[in-house]
Amino acid sequence: MTLLAATPARARMVFAGAVVAYLIAVLQRSTLGVAGVAASQRFEVSASALATLGVVQLAVYALLQVPVGVLVDRFGPKAVIVVGAALMAAGQVVVAFAPVLPVGVLGRMLVGAGDATTFVAALRLVNAWFPPGRVPVLSQWLGNLGQFGQVLSAVPFAALLGISGWTGAFLGVAGVSVVALAAALVLLSDAPEGARSGHTDLRAALVGLRAAVRRRGTRLGFWAHFVTQSSGVMFALFWGYPFLVSGVGLSRPAASALLTVQVLAGFLVGPALGSLTARHPLRRSNLVFAIVTLLGVAWALVLLFPGTPPVALLVLLSIALGIGGPGSQIGFDYARTFNPRTGLGGASGFVNVGGFSASFTMIFLVGFLLDLQHTLTGAPLYSLGAFRVALAVQYLVVGLGVVAFVVTRRSTRAQMREEDGVVIDPLWLALHARVRARRRAPRKRL
**Residue 2 in domain:** no
- Any idea of the CA torsion for 175, 178, 180, 181, to the nearest 10 degrees? 160
pTM of the model: 0.77
Residues 72/359, Cβ–Cβ less than 8 Å: no
DSSP line for 211-236 = HHHHSHHHHHHHHHHHHHHHHHHHII
Residue 196 lies in a domain: no
Q: Are 237 and 359 in contact (CB under 8 A)?
A: yes
Mean pLDDT of the chain, nearest integer? 86
Contact by Cβ (8 Å): 266, 322: yes
The distance in angstroms from the start CA to the end CA of the chain is 41
- For residue 393, being part of any structural domain is answered with yes
Question: What is the C-alpha separation between 100 and 114, in angstroms, rounded?
Answer: 22
Q: What is the pLDDT of residues 145-160, one digit of tens each?
A: 888 888 888 788 988 9
Over residues 189-213, the pLDDT tens digits come to 988 876 655 556 667 767 777 888 8
Residue 1 lies in a domain: no
What's the pLDDT tens digit per position in 70-121? 888 888 899 999 999 999 999 999 999 999 999 999 999 999 999 999 988 9
With respect to residue 288, please indicate whether it lies within any of the assigned structural domains.
yes
In a domain, 25, yes or no: yes
Model pLDDT for residues 401-438, shown as the tens digit of each residue: 999 999 999 998 888 777 766 666 666 555 655 666 67
Query: What one-character-per-residue DSSP string does 317-344 give?
Result: HHHHHHHHHHHTHHHHHHHHHHS-GGGH
CB atoms within 10 A of CB 1: 11
Distance, CA of 394 to CA of 229 (rounded, Å):
12
Look at the chain and report how many structural domains it folds into.
Answer: 1
Q: What is the mean pLDDT of residues 311-327?
A: 94
Q: Are 256 and 250 in contact (CB under 8 A)?
A: no
C-alpha–C-alpha distance, residues 346 and 203, integer Å: 13
C-alpha to C-alpha distance for 173 and 151, rounded to whole angstroms: 13
pLDDT at position 446 = 41
Contacts of 433 (CB under 8 A, 6+ apart): 425
Helices (runs of H) and strands (runs of E) counted in the chain = 19, 0
**Residue 6: inside a domain:** no
The dihedral through the CA atoms of 384, 387, 389, 395 has a sign that is: negative
The tens digit of pLDDT for each residue in 351-387 reads 988 988 899 899 899 999 999 998 898 878 889 999 9
Dihedral angle sign, alpha carbons of residues 156, 162, 166, 168: negative
Host domain of residue 403: 11-191+202-439
Residue 258 predicted with pLDDT over 80: yes
Tell whether 292 is covered by a domain: yes
- Residue 345 predicted with pLDDT over 80: no
Task: Give pLDDT tens digits for 170-193.
Answer: 999 999 999 889 989 999 998 887
Distances (CA, A) of 46 to 30, 37, 65, 234, 369: 20, 11, 29, 18, 11
